[in-house]
Amino acid sequence: MKRTGRTRLKKGKTVFLVLILILVLLSFGLAHFSRWRGFSYDYDLVVVGSDPEGIAAAVSAARNGLDVLLVDRRDEVGGLLTRGRLNTLDMNYDPDGNLLTRGIFLEFFRGLEGVSFDVDTAKRVLEEMLAGEKNITLRLEQKIEGVVREKDRVSAILLENGERITAARFIDATQDADVAAEAGAGFTLGMEDLGTGRRQAVTLVLELGGVDWEALTKALVNDSDEHSGASGTSAWGFLEEMRDYRAHDPQIRSRGLNMGLQKSGNVLINAMHIFDVDALDPESRERAMARGQKEAEFIVRFMRENLPGFEQAFLAATAPELYVRETRHLNGLYRLTIDDLLEYRNFWDKIALGSYPVDIQATAMDDWGAVVGNPAMYSIPFRCLVPVELTNLLVVGRGASYDSLAHGSARVVPVGMATGEAAGVAAALSLEKKVNFHELSGNKELVASLQERLQTQGAYLRDFEIPHTLEGHPLYPVIRELRSYGLVTGRYDNDYRLEKPIELRDISIVVDGYLERVLSNKFQARNLSQEQSEAVPEDLLWFLEGIEGADLDALGLDELLIEYNFYPDKILLRGETFAFLLEFLQRLGE
């Protein structure tokens, strides 16, 4: 049949429509085609965890042009901050009072009522920050079931519903660094790096109604305790009063109260310490939650009977999630140490600054915790976010590459948000320059670009050089060594009181701690003490003679006592006694 012009036009129109349909399908199918390296990914970047650290990472990456997926197992954003009812921020300032954590954290902070804030306000501000970025896809109630690793790269995450999501880069912002751990990154657990299985206590935050905020803040402002006080919606104190509380659960104790006023008039209280919890075991966490909820009524009754302003208080609720302070610590390309913090280290590849006191909460009923020191300021290197084994994944928040003591300061939310913001920029920069995170971390020119971009976004990354406490002191090497194991502390004033008389409990902490943490319990100390009375050489001998298996004569104890001029009835000073103990214990370990 001879084709007519009409037939040709009809066929041409059909072909045109088919081509249009193919283009539409291709466009839909490549909606998340990554422009990086010519590979097809669902997203440029996947951030796991909608805690503030993860939100900072997602927002930062989106503002740098990446197509970002933010995924969380919870049904709301905010993570532990909102679900754990942690409504007080641990702020970081330099010696001149300048805020160190700016950028995206400062945006968040400006939307709150203050250092202590209403939890619903925080949730709303975080939601608004995400809603303001068109490049972010938020998926809640999505549990990560697995991670696909190919050589030294994470290629995909697997959701519980069977969905497989690929990306060029990943950021783990979960509280326990779950994604990195599943992918095979190396970690230490709790205080394993100190040679002990201890971990900081878990807390269940209480919400109380009926509290007279004016009365309690007045009492705290006017009491004689220099470490208690109140300001606006924040209050802290009643340490000695709460020491008298005797819990019904033998593995629960209360410390002093950290309190934050809510818009409802209720008060959130961070005080309960729950011990004997494996926070990586869901069943152990469930038991801890039940234990805490059971104890809560007794604690509130005690407060009602003993604390001003609490006469009409009642338990309104407990937090939906436990406040877990410590689980995994990443083995990154660099591990931040306690010396880095307290010697005020200014790293060449710094991506965040901090200064919060090194606050180590209690680890067991025989421990009240300690403030190891109070840094003027310190920096966190980019390498702390980079796992040794993985080249396209970063870890931000408390699970980053910090030693357990350094983690006592660096784990706080403002610092975590600063590292999250840096991770988002690093993800974009690595894709733009076609380098992985290992390559980026070793390239000074690229790190300088990362820092410059962060500063353009509002981050505060100034250089600094500040002399540290005891710099140049002849006994500082002794203090540095013992401090690295958490056996001596400088407290909030960084005063090691080297010229003050040593107490029995100080000797006990050093001897027992060194035997456990350095000598792996090859020797046991029979003589222990918590007494605060001043020690003399006879007391020192009592401790050393109580070390099972130690041959004091072979170790040259008598000669060492003469060398240190430790004659009978001499009042032993802290500095010289620490030096003596370290030398003796080092001999014991040889």
pLDDT attached to residue 35: 54
Quick one: which of 282, 264, 253, 37 has its CA closest to 178?
A: 282
Write down the pLDDT at residue 225.
83
Fold of the 37-200+326-465 domain: FAD/NAD(P)-binding domain (3.50.50)
Residue position matching structure tokens 């407990």: 318
DSSP string, 297-334: HHHHHHHHHHSTT-TT-EEEEE-SS-EE--SEEE-BSS
Whether residue 418 has pLDDT greater than 60: yes
pTM: 0.91
Helical (H) or strand (E) element with 240: helix 239-243
Domain map of the chain by residue range?
Answer: 37-200+326-465, 202-324, 476-589
pLDDT band for 38, please (50, 70, 90 cuts). low
pLDDT of residue 224: 84
Query: What one-character DSSP code corresponds to residue 523?
Result: S
Helix, strand, coil proportions of the chain in percent (round to 5)? 35, 20, 45
Percent of the chain with pLDDT over 90: 89
Neighbours of 449 (CB within 10 A): 16
Amino acid at 123: K
Question: Would you say the C-alpha torsion 511, 517, 523, 526 has a positive or negative sign?
Answer: positive
What is the arithmetic mean of pLDDT over 298-312? 97
SS (H, E, C) 201-223: CEECCEEEECCCHHHHHHHHHHC
- pLDDT higher than 70, residue 18: no
Q: Work out the average pLDDT over 506-534.
A: 93
d(CA 440, CA 427): 10
Per-residue pLDDT tens for 106-135?
Answer: 999 999 999 999 999 999 999 999 999 999
* pLDDT tens by residue, 45-71: 999 999 999 999 999 999 999 999 999
Residue 32 has pLDDT above 70, yes or no: no
pLDDT recorded at residue 3: 43
pLDDT confidence of residue 14 = 53
Compute the distance between CA of residue 417 and CA of residue 106 in angstroms, rounded to an integer: 10
Q: Report d(CA 138, CA 109) in Å as an integer.
A: 22
Contact status, residue 251 vs residue 274, Cβ threshold 8 Å: yes
Furthest-apart CA atoms within the chain: distance in Å: 125
Q: Among residues 175, 184, 150, 179, which one has the least CA distance to residue 41?
A: 150
For residue 32 the two structure tokens come to: 């998340």
Angle at 586 between CA 583 and CA 588, to 5 degrees: 110
Check whether 152 has a pLDDT greater than 50. Answer: yes
Q: What string of DSSP letters covers 38-55?
A: T---SEEEEEE--SHHHH
Per-residue model confidence as pLDDT tens digits over 215-271: 999 999 988 888 899 988 999 999 999 999 999 999 999 999 999 999 999 999 999
Q: Given the structure tokens 């194991």, which residue do they identify?
A: 485
- The model's pLDDT over 160-192, given as tens digits with 9 standing for 90+, comes to 999 999 999 999 999 999 999 999 999 999 999
Buried b (16+ CB within 10 A) or exposed e, 493-504: ebebebeeebbb
CB atoms within 10 A of CB 348: 12
- Please answer whether residues 431 and 80 qualify as being in contact, where contact means their C-beta atoms are separated by less than 8 angstroms: no
Query: Where is average pLDDT lowest: 12-21, 75-84, 118-127, 255-264?
Result: 12-21
What is the spatial distance between Cα 60 and Cα 65, in angstroms, rounded to a whole number?
9
Residues 6+ apart with CB under 8 A from 400: 177, 329, 330, 332, 336, 380, 384, 385, 410, 419
Please report the pLDDT score of residue 569 as a whole number.
85
Counting every residue, how long is the chain? 590
Residue 100, both tokens: 């160190």
Q: Does the pLDDT of residue 2 top 90, yes or no?
A: no
Backbone angles phi, psi at 427, to 5 degrees: -60, -45
Is the separation of the CB atoms in 347 and 379 below 8 Å? yes
Least confident of 17-21, 339-343, 485-489: 17-21
Compute the mean pLDDT over every residue in the chain, rounded to the nearest whole number: 93
- What pLDDT does 9 receive? 43
pLDDT at 227: 83
Which residues sit opposite 157 in a β-bridge?
147, 165
pLDDT of residue 75: 95
Alpha helices in 30-166 (DSSP H): 52-63, 79-83, 103-110, 119-131
Distance (Å, rounded) from C-alpha 144 to C-alpha 163?
10
Q: Please report where in the chains the tokens 């494996």 appear, as a residue.
A: 278
Q: Structure tokens of 361?
A: 């909460």
